[in-house]
Amino acid sequence: GAVVSQHPSWVICKSGTSVKIECRSLDFQATTMFWYRQFPKQSLMLMATSNEGSKATYEQGVEKDKFLINHASLTLSTLTVTSAHPEDSSFYICSARAASGRAQNIQYFGAGTRLSVL
Amino acid sequence: DAKTTQPNSMESNEEEPVHLPCNHSTISGTDYIHWYRQLPSQGPEYVIHGLTSNVNNRMASLAIAEDRKSSTLILHRATLRDAAVYYCIPLRGSSGSARQLTFGSGTQLTVLP
């Protein structure tokens, strides 16, 4: 199946610093990428949807100035958690959907990034 | 979005078949039924999807009720590596749709050796 690479897999940072997470589709072009967040023992919650070359659409309650999303190419999206605080500690997971082809409606997921803010 | 109901948890013995049910009585006529699973500390993984007919792939089979109000994911021979949370997700299938997967609570499958 298609591969989505997410980096880093885990990060520890101090409160007030910013953290960037990268998501790459390695063997397909992704028109649309998604960012999810998952707290312990909970399900995935969609944070935002981004289409290549346009601004991301954020879900209700997600601060767009705090969670900056850039989808500059068909294979790369980044999520920057600005001025991170302990409550931002979570498991962040990206997902990509192919631009064309029979797998168009399948979302492929990265392995996730575990963020711990001290 | 169509609502889904799945059992919170299920157990299976290793090398036996597992039938994971999902009710989606409010599904619309254009929604595909997708199944994903999430292994511990990993991102979700696509398993299978279908619209009306039963579907088979190397991972599993999907049996869809004739009225499409329910479906069953079938793992033919469970292994310890199949222990995961399984999510049943209706998703509009029109090409170019920007619809995204919305995850419910899923079914935690435990496979006993």
Residue A40's contacts (CB-CB under 8 Å, 6 or more residues apart) are none
Nearest residue to A8 (alpha-carbon basis) of A84, A112, A116:
A112
Check: CB of residue A28 under 8 Å from CB of residue A8.
no
Cα of B71 to nearest chain A Cα, Å: 18
Radius of gyration of chain A (CA): 14
Check: CB of residue A16 under 8 Å from CB of residue A83.
yes
Cα of B13 to nearest chain A Cα, Å: 24
Which residues in chain B are contacts of A9 at CB distance < 8 A? Answer: none
CA nearest A43 in B: which residue?
A: B105
Which residues in chain B are contacts of A107 at CB distance < 8 A? Answer: 36, 44, 46, 100-101
Query: Which candidate in B87, B95, B99, B100 is best for mutational testing of the A interface (most A CBs within 10 A)?
Result: B100
Lowest pLDDT segment from A112-116, B2-6, B61-65, B81-85: B2-6
Q: How much is the pLDDT for B70?
A: 95
Check: CB of residue B73 under 8 Å from CB of residue B88.
yes
Query: Which tops the pLDDT comparison, A3 or A90?
Result: A90
Q: What is the pLDDT of residues B27-72, one digit of tens each?
A: 888 889 999 999 999 999 999 999 998 999 999 999 999 999 999 9
Rounded to whole angstroms, the Cα distance separating A55 from A57 reads 7
What b/e string do you get for B8-44 counting C-beta neighbours within 10 Å, with b at 16 or more? eebebeeeeebebebbbeebeeebbbbbbbbeeeebb
Q: Kindly state the DSSP code that residue B14 receives in the 8-state scheme.
A: T
Question: What's CA B31's distance to the chain center, in Å?
Answer: 14
Q: Which two tokens stand for residue A39?
A: 């707290």
Radius of gyration of chain B (CA): 13
Rounded to whole angstroms, the Cα distance separating B22 from B13 reads 20
Cα of B45 to nearest chain A Cα, Å: 7
- The segment with the largest mean pLDDT, out of A54-58, B1-5, B83-87, is B83-87
Q: What is the pLDDT of residues A10-65, one digit of tens each?
A: 999 999 999 999 999 998 888 889 999 999 999 999 999 998 888 899 999 999 99
CA nearest B49 in A: which residue?
A: A106
In angstroms, the Cα distances linking B96 to A73, A101, A103, B105 are 18, 11, 12, 27
